[in-house]
DNA sequence: TTTT
DNA sequence: TTTT
């Protein structure tokens, strides 16, 4: 029963390799620093460039995938939500941090990115979701404005099962 | 291993009450017609208004919630993906349809909307996702730019469990 | 020549009335505090609720509209980008802040929100965009709440002008 | 005074080279066919893959940029809105089409994509956006007669001018 | 700290 | 600080 939408969509490049730690229960928690640069013209007509560095955190399976496939320089699509935290530093001072808690990730560009591991294939990841739930299979070819069409997709329920 | 992002975000009002049918396996499939109106100025400076009517479909539990809580006139936030289908009409002609397959929904405005059922409380719904997975509980107060802070939130793993 | 996408979409309620100040050049800068609440189940099955308070800032005309139409309690859709700032406090300490710089806003729910000014009509606002740019006008027929399709829209260029 | 949000975010690859035509008034109208592939597991645990082919249209300056920099195979981020159209075919039959009218585009992967033109640098494009709206006049960079997008940063006012 |  |  959420009240509100808190959604972030980022496309950017990693400033460093991902850093992964594990919780006591063994869950991966991977962090990346993601740059997004935007450009605008100021009132004098000069080009102004500004880069934001996002702290993005991936939990669980997603964290493992990020750790394995992303590297410094990798370009990535991330979807998640903003989380603001307050904590007390070692000096007793209150500090604030802002993180993007990712729930979807997609590698871009077809190459892993920077240096090593570049041979990784492009892939994406998100929490599994089951579609449909009905009976037999249907073959509903995708609409393709192009000659060659895509193969059928399975709605997981047969034609007779479709109520519309 | 998806290749691509196909994401739709809509905020609009229902043109009619939702229509629900059930698959043979008992899964709800609820459809709504959702209006979004945009306004632009043409080059003559005249205001141009245009309404798009989106066919949105909700499966399973989400379909049941939509059927129960939304009515003609209800304002709603919908997130989903575009699905293009091709089928053959009774006249043997090929036809195309475009649907938004919803995976998240949130009622807006606090009132159900139109006529009946208006007493429904505001609520939202999306496929359950489990967060974290670690051990004990932590109390990580939300960052509040203001004096009074938010109560703790449970990351499902204790402080000692947090690797950062 | 931007490199990256930095996009935030929020739906939430104002915790207080908007606060507006003006730059020396007379531009409005309006700030709101926007709450989004999410709910998840922890691994024990307990419902966990957490509210994020977003600092959202609106510049210029958008800032004026927000100041005029939104109130404490108002529900609103906001689109913008994340901006991280670092500054030095009066105590000489470095501090960080995170803001959502809004570029689109839409009032939700049909009522202004909280207390006064509730009689405001629902409206939205965003930087004006010109559509089309071509020749004559087309007719923009009424909308049918039904079948997916749309009647004509005014593309600001005549049918003969449409290259497809 | 829009009522509603109609937003589409796509990341995909072009199935063919872009096709550009010009209106009588000389505005570019460029179309691409963009593939997004998603994967899900059906209830039998089998992997199901489905590709949607989106018809995306870019007007004005954005259309020119797409025509120049994108090629078959290029990976691209697109933001826009859904537009449903109804028209009458040569056979007198009513037909429907669905287009994504883009207002923002960003090339991904650093390489143009498929075959020729691969040497193009990565870049992005969106209609210029002016921030603010206050006092004197700012320099308003040329506007493309087209869609439009959002605001952004570029505070265009000095530090002393910032009221927060 | 990335990327161009 | 909102909202439910």
Q: What is the mean pLDDT of chain A?
A: 76
Percentage of chain D modeled with pLDDT above 90: 57
Q: What's the CA B62/C1' E3 distance, rounded, in angstroms?
A: 40
A6 exposure class (CB count in 10 Å sphere: 0-12, 13-18, 19+): buried
State the pLDDT confidence band at D13, using cuts at 50, 70 and 90.
very high
Residue B150 pLDDT greater than 50, yes or no:
no
Q: Is the CB of A13 under 7 A from strand E?
A: yes
- Contact status of B27 with chain D (Cβ, < 8 Å): no
- pLDDT of res. A91: 83
Residue D146 domain-assigned (yes or no): no
Q: What's the CA B110/C1' F4 distance, rounded, in angstroms?
A: 9
- pLDDT of res. D144: 35
C-alpha–C-alpha distance, residues B132 and C55, integer Å: 26
Residue A146 domain-assigned (yes or no): no
- pLDDT of res. D162: 42
State the pLDDT confidence band at D1, using cuts at 50, 70 and 90.
low
Residue A32 domain-assigned (yes or no): yes
Cβ <8 Å between A6 and C12: yes
Provide the shortest C-alpha distance from residue A161 to chain C (in Å). 22
- pLDDT of res. B91: 85
- pLDDT of res. A69: 97
Q: What domain range includes position C97?
A: 8-140
Instruction: Find tokens 């056979």 and name the residue.
Output: D91
Instruction: Find tokens 């937003």 and name the residue.
Output: D7
CB count in 10 Å sphere of residue D141? 14
A60: left (phi over 0), alpha (psi -120 to 50) or beta: left
Residue A41 domain-assigned (yes or no): yes
DSSP one-letter code for B157: S
State the pLDDT confidence band at D139, using cuts at 50, 70 and 90.
very low
- pLDDT of res. A1: 65
At C156, list the tokens. 């600001």
Q: For chain C, give the DSSP string.
A: --BSEEEEEEEEEESS--EEEE-TT--EEEEEEEEEEEEEE-TTS-EEEEEEEEEEEEEHHHHHHHHHH--TT-EEEEEEEEEEEEEE-TTS-EEEEEEEEEEEEEE-TTS--SSTTTTPPP-EE----B----SS----PPP-SSSS-------SS-GGG---
pLDDT tens digits for range A113-136: 444 433 444 456 665 444 333 333
Average pLDDT estimate for D88-110: 92
Q: What's the CA C67/C1' F4 distance, rounded, in angstroms?
A: 25
C-alpha–C-alpha distance, residues C89 and C5, integer Å: 30
Tell me which protein residue sits closest to nucleotide F4, measuring alpha carbon to C1'.
B122
A23 exposure class (CB count in 10 Å sphere: 0-12, 13-18, 19+): buried
Q: Is the CB of A107 under 7 A from strand E?
A: no
Please tell me whether the overall predicted TM-score, pTM, comes out greater than 0.75 for this model: yes
Number of domains in chain C: 1
Inter-residue contact A152 to A144 (CB < 8 Å): no
Residue B146 domain-assigned (yes or no): no
Residue A55 domain-assigned (yes or no): yes
Residue D146 pLDDT greater than 60, yes or no:
no
Q: How many Cα neighbours within 13 Å face the side chain of C106? A: 25
Strand F positions within 7 A of protein Cβ atoms: 1-4
Which CATH number fits the domain that encloses residue B64? Answer: 2.40.50.140
pLDDT tens digits for range D107-129: 998 644 444 433 444 456 765 44
Q: Which residues of C touch D2 (CB under 8 A)?
A: 106, 124, 126
User: Taking chain C (164 residues) in consecutive chunks of 10 residues, what is each chunk's mean pLDDT?
Assistant: 92 98 97 95 87 98 98 98 92 90 93 42 52 35 31 36 40
User: What's the sign of the alpha-carbon dihedral A8, A10, A16, A18?
Assistant: positive
Contacts of C44 (CB under 8 A, 6+ apart): none
Residue B13 pLDDT greater than 80, yes or no:
yes
State the pLDDT confidence band at B124, using cuts at 50, 70 and 90.
low
Contacts of A12 (CB under 8 A, 6+ apart): A34, A35, A36, A37, A54, A75, A76, A78, C3, C4, C5, C6
More confident residue, B110 or B158: B110
**SS3 (DSSP) at D48:** strand
Residue D138 pLDDT greater than 50, yes or no:
no
- Contact status of A48 with chain C (Cβ, < 8 Å): no
CB count in 10 Å sphere of residue D146? 24
Residue B86 domain-assigned (yes or no): yes
Instruction: Find tokens 């965009």 and name the residue.
Output: C129
- Which D residues, 49 through 108, put their C-beta within 8 Å of a C-beta on chain B? 52-54, 77, 81-84, 93, 95-98
Q: For A107-125, give the DSSP string.
A: E-SSS--SSTTTTPPP-EE
C-alpha–C-alpha distance, residues A122 and D12, integer Å: 12
pLDDT tens digits for range C104-142: 999 998 644 444 433 444 455 665 444 333 333 333 333
Closest partner CB to D161 (pick from C5, C24, C31): C24
User: Nearest Cα to A25, choosing from B129, B139, B158, B138?
Assistant: B158
- pLDDT of res. D2: 78
- Most D-contacting residue of C4, C5, C83, C153 (CB-CB within 10 A), to test interface: C5
Q: For C85-104, give the DSSP string.
A: EEEE-TTS-EEEEEEEEEEE
- Contact status of A162 with chain B (Cβ, < 8 Å): yes
Q: What's the CA D145/C1' F2 distance, rounded, in angstroms?
A: 40
In which element (H, E) is residue C51 found?
A: strand C47-59
Inter-residue contact D128 to D145 (CB < 8 Å): no
Strand partners, D30: D20, D58
Instruction: Find tokens 């996002």 and name the residue.
Output: A54
Query: Nearest residue on chain D to B53, judged by CA atoms?
Result: D84
Percentage of chain C modeled with pLDDT above 90: 53
Inter-residue contact C11 to C77 (CB < 8 Å): yes
Average pLDDT estimate for A6-15: 98
At C12, list the tokens. 């939430």
Q: For A54-79, give the DSSP string.
A: EEEEEEHHHHHHHHHH--TT-EEEEE
Residue D161 domain-assigned (yes or no): no
Strand partners, B96: B86
- pLDDT of res. A163: 40
- pLDDT of res. A90: 84
**SS3 (DSSP) at A5:** strand
CB count in 10 Å sphere of residue D21? 13
Closest partner CB to D164 (pick from C21, C26, C129): C21
Percentage of chain D modeled with pLDDT above 70: 66
At A122, list the tokens. 């492009």
Backbone φ and ψ of C101, nearest 5° = -90, 110
């Amino acid at each position: 029963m959420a009240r509100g939408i808190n959604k972030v969509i980022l496309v950017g490049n990693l400033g460093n390799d991902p850093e992964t730690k594990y919780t006591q229960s063994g869950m991966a928690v991977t962090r990346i620093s993601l740059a997004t640069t935007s450009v605008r013209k100021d009132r004098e007509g000069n080009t102004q460039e500004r880069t934001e560095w996002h702290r993005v955190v991936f939990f669980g399976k997603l964290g493992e995938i990020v750790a394995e496939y992303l590297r410094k320089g990798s370009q990535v699509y991330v979807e998640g939500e903003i989380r603001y935290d307050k904590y007390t530093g070692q000096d007793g001072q209150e500090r604030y941090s802002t993180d993007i808690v990712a729930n979807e990730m997609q590698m871009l560009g077809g190459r892993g990115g920077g240096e090593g591991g570049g041979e990784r294939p492009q892939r994406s990841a998100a929490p599994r979701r089951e579609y449909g739930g009905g009976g037999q299979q249907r073959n509903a070819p995708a609409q393709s404005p192009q000659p060659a069409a895509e193969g059928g997709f399975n709605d997981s329920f047969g034609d007779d099962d479709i109520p519309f």
